[in-house]
């Protein structure tokens, strides 16, 4: 893993002031490397990004460019090797309820039923049982699992388990929602439902969202801003703002608008431009 020495880093597309601001999230010159017996792997190099309150940011990029690592650092599960991350001016040093993370892998607790899984965060907080139950029911219905309220995770399909995780995190009402390829295991129909759900949640609760995906269409449809990352070492290559009229008509007609097509084309070209280095 010596590649980071040879690829010339492109000019930073983001404004990188080093002063922490009261921004919802402010990532300031963050690098992350892992040292192991095989040497040092630079997962992320000099990432700077400001994320505003209520913004929906999508991270797009090839496998291994450090998207999960970035989310984990924002969640407070991993400490940056260099640089700092601030949430509303306070440096992030540990995980907290204000930043919910939906993992790339299944994380439903196997010993709890769907209902108990979704109630989990509220139980930690000591929320009264009645309120907890009604909240859990609300979010389970949102993700369409009301028929499986009392099922255990082993009785669910992969996509259903992922929806449990989504409901569990939403029910905890985080201010920042971090999602690591949350809809990867879902069929297109459920995926679309989840998109509507996300738009809904965003509109109602003003949650700030950072979502990782490999799906360009999903990125365009949901994002206020798309952060396109490159790898070796992981860095921000481009930031795209898909300024589409999202509320105009249905999703299918939006997909065929010239603006959408142009954007999709632009992103795909960026992805292609990234791939030569990935084939080494």
Partner 1 sequence: MAFAVQIPPEQTTTTPEHLSRMEQDEDAPLRVFKFGAVLPRSTTLLLGIVGWGVLLAVWQLLAETGSMSSLVLPGPAAVVSALYRLFAERDFIGDVTASIVRVLESFLAACLVAVPLGIVMGAFRPIEALVNPIVAAWRYLPAPSFVPLLLMWFGTGDTQKLALLFLGVVWFLITLVMDYTKAVRTELVETALTLGGTSRQILWTVVVPAALPNIFIALRQVLAVSWTYLVIAEIVAATDGIGAMMMRASRFVRTDEVMAGILMIGLLGLVFDFLFACAQRFLFPYERGGT
Ligand X SMILES: Nc1ncnc2c1ncn2[C@@H]1O[C@H](COP(=O)(O)OP(=O)(O)OP(=O)(O)O)[C@@H](O)[C@H]1O
Binding footprint of partner 1 on the chain (CB under 8 A): 75-77, 95-97, 99-101, 103, 105, 107, 109-111, 113, 120-121, 123-125, 146-155, 165, 168-169, 172
Q: Would you count residue 213 as binding Mg ion (CB under 5 A)? A: no
Taking the least distance from each CB to partner 1, the nearer of 45 and 117 is 117
Q: 88 by DSSP, 3-state: which?
A: coil
Judging by beta carbons within 10 Å of its beta carbon (0-12, 13-18, 19+), is residue 59 exposed, middle or buried? buried
Q: What gap in Å lies between CA 154 and CA 269, rounded to an integer?
A: 41
Closest among 40, 109, 32 to 71, alpha carbons compared: 32
Q: Which is nearer to Mg ion, 62 or 114 (CB)?
A: 62
Query: Contact between 190 and Mg ion (CB under 5 A)?
Result: no
Q: Does the protein bind ligand X through residue 106 (CB under 6 A)?
A: no
The entry of ligand X, Mg ion, partner 1, none near residue 131 (CB within 5 to 8 angstroms by kind) is: none
Give least dist CB 194 to partner 1, A. Answer: 19
Minimum CB separation of residue 230 from ligand X in Å reads 11
Which tokens in the block code for residue 74? Answer: 């924002």
DSSP H or E run through 57: strand 56-61
Least Cβ distance, residue 140 to partner 1 (angstroms): 11
Choose among partner 1, ligand X, Mg ion, none what residue 200 binds, the Cβ cut-off being 5 to 8 Å by kind: none
Q: What is the DSSP letter of 234?
A: B
68 touching Mg ion, by CB under 5 A:
yes
Stretch that binds Mg ion, among 5-13, 97-105, 143-151, 266-274 (CB under 5 A): 97-105
Instruction: Please report the DSSP string for 90-126 in residue order.
Output: EEP-S--TTEEEE-SS----TTS-HHHHHHHHHHHTT
Cα distances (Å, whole numbers) of residue 27 to 86, 91, 153, 155: 6, 10, 36, 40
Of 25, 43, 122, 136, which one interacts with ligand X (CB under 6 A)? 43
Q: Does 41 bind ligand X (CB under 6 A)?
A: yes
CB contact set of 139 (below 8 Å; sequence gap of 6+): 118, 167, 168, 170, 171
Q: Which range touches ligand X (CB under 6 A), out of 59-67, 160-168, 237-245, 247-255?
A: 59-67
| Mode of pairing for the β-strands spanning 176-180 and 208-213 | parallel
Name the binder of 183 from ligand X, partner 1, Mg ion, none, CB < 5-8 A by kind. Answer: none
Which residue ranges make up the site for ligand X (CB under 6 A)? Answer: 34, 36, 41, 43, 63-69, 104, 234
């Amino acid at each position: 893993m010596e590649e980071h020495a040879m690829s010339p880093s492109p000019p930073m597309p983001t404004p990188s002031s080093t002063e922490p601001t009261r921004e919802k999230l402010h990532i300031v010159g963050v690098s992350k490397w892992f040292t192991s017996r095989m040497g040092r792997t630079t997962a992320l190099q000099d990432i700077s990004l400001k994320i505003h309150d209520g913004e929906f940011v999508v991270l797009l990029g090839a496998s291994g460019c450090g998207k999960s690592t970035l989310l984990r650092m924002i969640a407070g599960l991993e400490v940056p090797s260099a640089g700092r991350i601030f949430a509303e001016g306070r440096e992030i040093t540990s995980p907290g309820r204000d930043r919910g993370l939906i993992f790339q892998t299944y994380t439903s607790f196997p010993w709890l039923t769907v209902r108990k899984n979704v109630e989990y965060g509220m139980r930690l907080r000591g929320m009264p049982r009645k309120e907890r139950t009604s909240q859990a029911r609300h979010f389970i219905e949102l993700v369409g699992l009301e028929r499986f309220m009392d099922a255990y995770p082993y009785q669910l399909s992969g996509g259903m388990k992922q929806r449990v995780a989504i409901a569990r995190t939403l029910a905890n009402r985080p201010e920042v929602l971090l999602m690591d390829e949350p809809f990867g295991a879902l069929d297109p129909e459920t995926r679309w439902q989840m998109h509507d759900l996300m738009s809904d949640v965003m509109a109602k609760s003003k949650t700030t969202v950072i979502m990782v995906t490999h799906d360009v269409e999903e990125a365009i449809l949901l994002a206020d801003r798309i952060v396109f990352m490159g790898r070796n070492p992981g860095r921000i290559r481009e930031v795209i703002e898909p300024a589409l009229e999202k509320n105009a008509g249905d999703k299918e007609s939006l997909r065929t608008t010239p603006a959408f097509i142009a954007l999709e084309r632009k992103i795909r070209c960026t992805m292609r431009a990234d791939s030569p280095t990935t084939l080494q």
